Amino acid sequence: MEQPLVRKVRVKNELGLHTRPATLIVKLLQDSKSEVLFSYKKETINAKSILSILILAAPKNAHITIQVKGVDALATMERLIESFENGFGERESVSE
Amino acid sequence: MSQSDEAWEELCLKGYPICPGIAIGPPFFFTVAEENIPEFSVPHDLIDHEVDRYYIALKNSRKDLLSLQKRLQKEGGNEAAAILGSHLEIMRDPMMTVEMEEAIRVRCKNTEYVFKTVLGEYEKKFNKIPDEFFRERLKDFQDISRRIIGHLRKHERCTLAQLNLKSIVFAHELSPSDTAEANTEVIEAFVTRSGAETSHVAIMARAKGIPFVSNVEFPDLTISVPPKVIVDGCAGQVIFNPTKETIKYFKDEQKKLKIRAKGLQKKGILEAETIDGYKTSLSANIEMFSELDTLHHFGGEGVGLFRSEYLFLARDAFPSEEEQFLVYRSLVEKVEGHPSVIRTFDIGGDKLGNFHLSRYEKNPYLGCRAIRLMLKEKAVFKTQIRAILRASAFGEVSILFPMISGVLELREAKEVVEEAKTELLKTGIPFARNIPIGCMIEVPSAAITADILAKECDFLSIGTNDLVQYSLAVDRGNPSMSYLYTPAHPSIIRMIKMVVDEGIKAGKTVSVCGEIAADPRFTPLLLGLGVHELSVSSPSLPIIKNVIRHLSIIEAEELVHEVLRCVTPVEVESVLERAYQKILPDL
């Protein structure tokens, strides 16, 4: 049995994993042939499900553990991390 | 004692009286498919069948949404189509597909039960999330699950259209689309657990004169159905298993009411004129086309408020320009010689029905509805305006904009009218060039700036239902707050006075079309304030006309001074009640 790739990432964008980033993640994973899981606190969920990502309710600065298993695991992981790193194209902090 | 009527005890339950009248008949239980879902185990060899049932229901729900979306896109409702798009997205989510399948297989229970339980678990999780973004999803989720369950339980899905025996309809709550497809000929009365005085079903019940009592905690009638129920919409009570004496008493009362109504109707053809010769205009609020036939019969002088959105609440899409034109034209023609006021689509909040046009909002009453929604959905709006303009070539008709909160909205809406006029001119389609344009006064900011609005439109129409709700900051649908909801609040009286005064100053007509206009106790006050026109539901016309014909305008003006001195709603009510008793001691 192959080992899943495991990485930890931080949620950088201000609003956390809300609808828009969740949609982006699911779109990004649409063509991926790997199984992708997110863990936050005690929950582990299927990252290809918008609803499941929403249920995680991960706020800004939450640490998410990503597990990817499958033929294109490496590429999938890279794209995911890039997405997290740039805060899903949203601003990191909002000054009022 | 044998299993006869005596086995039942008479039971009287109290509720809110919403529409007066007395009905005696068998109850009909209106349940939605999500209620009373059974639970049973499914043997292993039949689980595949349960899974198939789920996928078929999911497929059919998807089909529904796709065809709805197509229709909306064709008619320019792009925003609504986008919402349906996100619904479709959710249906493709693993949580709704593979994970649901797994749940059915693991739990070995019938599909609808598993679906409902799993959804309940999801909802709990969603509810724990403090973020608004997630809350919105929950609503989408509930909407989708209702649709899927409806497909899973096709047989349990009942509609009011199926009702064919004269019955008293009991429901937890009735949505606009439920009531819109109801066959009112066979509905003797409505009884609901929740609901408010100004909900759609209440408006419809009043229009049709169907007795209605809400907020009744009735027992579960699906277990044992009592043969007979009495609904007393005057006192707001529902009596189960009435004794012979009770039935006789209410039958007599029913007769008395009918005789009185007939007497008033005979006077219907007389003018709405006070004893000292002050003429008013008394017109009808119309939502169903069939009501037009009874308009003259009840003594209405035209249509003061045509709630255009009700025409198609039972449908899933906005009607085309041609279809609307035909409706408005026959409205104008049927009312012949009298003016018709068509209010542009007032959807949002409680009347949203099937449309999903406005995005789910945390606070829809303060959100995107009525004119705000139409100014965003300009294609839909212009289609309606063009249809009204075309109808104006066939008779007197005015356009009324709902929920105007300031003059900028009025200007923007008028611009759409101008654009539509230019388009029609270019194609040579006839219309009335000087079609009157009115402004609903139902938002406090509009009432306070009535002088500004009056200068830029042709008439003002005060919608008291919303004005009360917005001024007093009371949700009219919230039963625990309804004690605060009263048009007798001094602030409301002052605001009406302000609007009427400004209207008179600018030389513009001011009409009142909310429930207050149909409450005979308020009639003397409104006339005394200088309201030119009252628009009420058809069955209320004879009662209001009767009050007007027994009233002296001088006394009414004196009453205004007395009411303006009152400092609490209770004082206002008792002054009005006293004046009313003086005018009509026999009622």
Q: Using pLDDT thresholds of 50, 70 and 90, give the confidence band for residue B162.
A: low
Helix (H, G, I), strand (E, B) or coil at B61: helix
Q: Does the pLDDT of residue B585 top 70, yes or no?
A: no
Write the pLDDT tens digit of every residue in B421-441.
999 999 999 999 999 999 999
Q: In percent, how much of chain B has pLDDT > 90? A: 37
Q: What is the pLDDT of residue B248?
A: 92
Beta-carbon contacts below 8 Å between A and B: 46
The active-site residue out of B356, B513, B550, B566 is: B513
Angle value at C-alpha B493, between B486 and B400, nearest 5 degrees: 90
Distance between CA atoms of residues B213 and B170, nearest Å: 10
On whether residue A96 sits in a domain, the answer given is no
Q: What is the pLDDT of residue B303?
A: 93
Q: What is the pLDDT of residue B22?
A: 92
Strand partners, B282: B534
Structure tokens at B177: 């689309």
| Residue in B92, B119, B131, B144 to test binding to A, most A beta-carbons within 10 Å | B131
**CB-CB: which of B89, B99, B131 is closest to A57?**
B131
**CB-CB: which of A16, A18, A50 is closest to B89?**
A50
- Kindly report which listed range (B77-81, B229-233, B235-239, B527-531) carries the lowest average pLDDT score: B77-81
The CATH number of whichever domain residue A24 belongs to comes to 3.30.1340.10
Q: What is the pLDDT of residue B508?
A: 94
Residues 6+ apart with CB under 8 A from B221: B27, B29, B170
Q: Does the pLDDT of residue B501 top 80, yes or no?
A: yes
Angle formed by the axes of helices B490-506 and B569-583, nearest 10°: 70
Q: Does the pLDDT of residue B178 top 90, yes or no?
A: no
Write the pLDDT tens digit of every residue in B253-287.
888 888 877 777 776 667 778 887 788 889 999 87
Q: What is A16-59 written as a DSSP string?
A: -S-HHHHHHHHHHHTT--SEEEEEETTEEEETT-HHHHHHH---
Structure tokens at B446: 């509009």
Query: What is the maximum span of chain B, computed from C-alpha positions, in angstroms?
Result: 85
Host domain of residue A50: 5-88
Instruction: Tell me the one-letter amino acid at B307.
Output: R
On whether residue A93 sits in a domain, the answer given is no
**Is B155 a catalytic site residue?**
no
- Per DSSP bridges, beta strands B303-307 and B340-343 are parallel
Structural domains present in chain B: 5-31+158-249 (3.50.30.10), 44-152 (1.10.274.10), 279-583 (3.20.20.60)
Structure tokens at B514: 């909310």
Quote ipTM for the complex: 0.76
Which residue does chain A place closest to B140, by CA atoms? A51
Partner-chain contact A49 B93, CB within 8 Å: yes
Distance between CA atoms of residues B420 and B430, nearest Å: 12
Q: What is the pLDDT of residue B40?
A: 84
What's the mean per-residue pLDDT of chain B? 83
Whether residue B484 lies within 8 A of chain A, CB to CB, comes out as no
Whether residue B561 lies within 8 A of chain A, CB to CB, comes out as no
Whether residue B481 lies within 8 A of chain A, CB to CB, comes out as no
Q: Phi and psi of A38, rounded to 5°?
A: -110, 135
Q: What is the pLDDT of residue B76?
A: 54
On whether residue A14 sits in a domain, the answer given is yes
Rg (CA), chain B: 26
Q: Using pLDDT thresholds of 50, 70 and 90, give the confidence band for residue B530.
A: very high
Q: Using pLDDT thresholds of 50, 70 and 90, give the confidence band for residue B369.
A: confident
Partner-chain contact A54 B141, CB within 8 Å: no
Write the pLDDT tens digit of every residue in B444-479.
999 999 999 999 999 999 999 899 999 999 887 677
Count structural domains, chain A.
Answer: 1
Distance between CA atoms of residues B29 and B168, nearest Å: 8
On whether residue A36 sits in a domain, the answer given is yes
Please identify which residue in the block is written with the tokens 């019940």: B205
- Kindly report which listed range (A22-26, B72-76, B294-298, B395-399) carries the lowest average pLDDT score: B72-76
Q: What is the pLDDT of residue A81?
A: 93
Q: In percent, how much of chain B has pLDDT > 70? A: 82
Distance between CA atoms of residues B519 and B513, nearest Å: 11
Instruction: Tell me the one-letter amino acid at B22.
Output: I
Q: Does the pLDDT of residue B378 top 60, yes or no?
A: yes
- The average pLDDT across B170-180 equals 69
Which of A80, A53, A63 is closest to A8 using CA atoms? A63
Q: What is the pLDDT of residue A14?
A: 80
| Residue in A29, A43, A54 to test binding to B, most B beta-carbons within 10 Å | A54
On whether residue A28 sits in a domain, the answer given is yes
On whether residue A32 sits in a domain, the answer given is yes
On whether residue A95 sits in a domain, the answer given is no
Which of A23, A27, A59, A19 is closest to A41 using CA atoms? A59
